Chains A and B, each alone.
Chain A
Amino acid sequence: MTEKELFTVVGIRPEPPAPKKKVKRLKGFPWISGILLALILLCCLFAELLMTKEPGYLDLQNFNVAPNGEFLFGTDTLGRDIFSGIWYGGRISLTIGFLATLISTLIAVVYGSVSGIAPGWLDALMMRFTEIFLSIPGLLMVLFLQAILGQANVLSLSVVIGVTGWASIAKVVRTEVRQIRNSEYVVASKCMGGKFPHILRKHLAPNFIASIMFMVVMNVRGAIGSESTLSFMGMGLPLEIISWGSMLSLSEKALLTDSWWIIIIPGAFLVTLLMCLTNIGNYLRKSANRKESNL
């Protein structure tokens, strides 16, 4: 047989056309959590349309009123309307959650990438530090920092929560970067002449973004939780700045007067929000894992 014939016999045997891909992007998406979260977000965003009262107004005639037709969720010990406060305060809670996460993620990506690219000894040192950082109770650290900084506002609280919450994301970024850095497609890309920015954009970032998305969502959850805890303990936002945490800081007084709605209602909203975020985070983690093991 000639060369040409040989080639047609066992040469590039054409592959059959690929089967049509089934679009199953959102398999297992937690719809209930997603819709609830969207609802809460929208309501907080358009709080002005929903509020029946001025959220900060101290109605001295109607304090500690149980939920009724006028005050849908009752009023707190200072006479503020809880229904209006929920939407107005939710905005602050969410802002802090997202802002703090943004700060954490930025620190984590920079720190993780540096550690991932650094030589062995520096990497070991940086990771040792991260581990120690991780084993300090996070809220304790926030508590100390905030105590030292004094009176908090939305920005300072976000910064404090942000700079204490980066370690676990940084660890993941570092692992990913280290793994990808030595993988053959990066070597191949370098051989083709890919410079560092190209590799970062095309190879590193898409890979670690997928695996940190879950942690980023969980970080939002953690930050909102921290804000409420801090505000509750009187170390976070002062009473005048309404957030779900600062609304809960009246709980001690509420306990004395048995006003359950002051404790239960903002708390229920808080727990619902955190639950929605958790479910979405878990979904993201699962889908990231599925993509990786889908060989």
Chain B
Amino acid sequence: MRRNPFVYYGKKALIFLLSVFLLSVTVFYISRLAPGDPLMSYYGERVEKMSVEEKETARGKLGLNEPIYIQYIRWVENAIKGDFGISFKYKQDVMQVIGSRIGSTLILGGTGFVLTFVGALLLGILCAWYEDRWVDRLLCKGGTLLSCIPEFWLSLVLILVFAVTLHLLPGSGAYDVGYKNNVLNRIEHLILPLVIVVLQHLWYYAYMIRNKLLEEIGADYVLLGKSKGLSKRKIMFRHCLRNVLPSYISLMAISVPHVVGGTYIVETVFSYPGIGALSYESARYHDYNLLMVLCMMTGILVIFCNMIGQIINEKLDPRIKATEVVETSEVTEL
């Protein structure tokens, strides 16, 4: 039984669309049904002084009076046309608000992701290479400690040390006033948040690599390799790493939302103008249109990365394919 690639990817695409649809319905309903007044975010303090009729007209103007499913249908209609409504809080087109912020997050999250990916791989290999020697033990202990420190507190301590006490690095914002286009200034502002993002994730993946490598090293084929006289380096890089990499890559694909989208705490602590801080605000102030788009973006990213991870797993790892073949051959034979 050979799979038709059109059927294969078609199926995936269909599942993807269905998930996105379900996601949008869920987010829409939950955000609408939750307590809290969206008028607050649009009119701010003025709401309290408005009369009942004024509130009604305001709600009507924003389309908040109709049944939720009609609101939803209208939202989908507009969304297909590329119109996601305006942000109640910023009184701007949602896409504009997001567009002005997304660059910073992508730089922070993207750089963080790449550094984590490479760093974890190197650290993992280092630890596995020196298994149970002092390098490995030190790194393991350090990693465990690091994983126990809440992100926000680490940020605070770093700000306290490097910005407040030592005055070495800036502690907030993406650039100083008047230095908007100065690359160096921006890099300076990026260092501390980036360190936090990387430190937060690095250890988890490095530890995974280490353990998977050690698992491989314990396998019989490594013993065979050793008895054939292969060097440790060859065994590690040619054989063990080759078996570990596919699952690592697919895990990293799944982790994209975690790392790239997980910058909201850092962004908030460092007042870094990115999507993370924005989504936190939109949830807090019931900025429906903005919240909806942000949720959809996160959700789509999550589902998409999950699928990519799955496909990578199926395509890259010959072992998975092999088991499939065995199963089908068994079935046809009997």
Taking beta carbons and an 8 Å cutoff, which residues of A are in contact with B?
131-132, 135-137, 139-140, 143-144, 147-150, 221, 225, 228-229, 232-233, 235, 248, 251, 255, 258, 260, 263-264, 267, 270-271, 274-275, 278-279, 282
User: Known contacts being A143-B280, A233-B280, is A275 close to B144, with CB within 8 Å?
Assistant: yes
Quick check: B171 and A139 within 8 Å, CB to CB? no
The dominant DSSP class at the A interface is helix
The chain B residue sitting closest to A277, CB to CB, is: B148
Contact partner of B31 (CB less than 8 A), chosen from A148, A229, A275, A282, is A148
CA distance A149 to B36 in the complex (A): 8
Contact partner of A275 (CB less than 8 A), chosen from B148, B156, B164, B165, is B148
Task: Chain B residues near A139: list those with CB within 8 A.
Answer: 262, 264-265
Taking beta carbons and an 8 Å cutoff, which residues of B are in contact with A?
19, 30-31, 34-36, 144-145, 147-153, 156-157, 159-160, 164-165, 171, 254-255, 257-258, 261-262, 264-265, 268, 279-280, 283-284, 286, 291, 295, 298-299, 302-303, 305-306
The chain B residue sitting closest to A276, CB to CB, is: B148
Quick check: B298 and A136 within 8 Å, CB to CB? yes
Contact partner of A267 (CB less than 8 A), chosen from B19, B156, B291, B305, is B156
Quick check: A137 and B152 within 8 Å, CB to CB? no
CA distance A267 to B150 in the complex (A): 9
User: Known contacts being A135-B254, A135-B255, A150-B35, is A235 close to B284, with CB within 8 Å?
Assistant: yes
User: Known contacts being A221-B148, A260-B160, A275-B148, is A135 close to B306, with CB within 8 Å?
Assistant: yes
Contact partner of B159 (CB less than 8 A), chosen from A150, A255, A270, is A255
User: Known contacts being A148-B36, A150-B35, A258-B164, is A233 close to B265, with CB within 8 Å?
Assistant: yes
CA distance A233 to B152 in the complex (A): 9
Task: Chain A residues near B19: list those with CB within 8 A.
Answer: 132
CA distance A186 to B257 in the complex (A): 41
CA distance A235 to B165 in the complex (A): 29
CA distance A203 to B298 in the complex (A): 41
CA distance A271 to B148 in the complex (A): 6
The distance from the CB of B294 to the nearest CB of chain A, in whole angstroms, is 9
The distance from the CB of A246 to the nearest CB of chain B, in whole angstroms, is 13
User: Known contacts being A132-B306, A264-B157, is A229 close to B152, with CB within 8 Å?
Assistant: yes
Quick check: A263 and B157 within 8 Å, CB to CB? yes
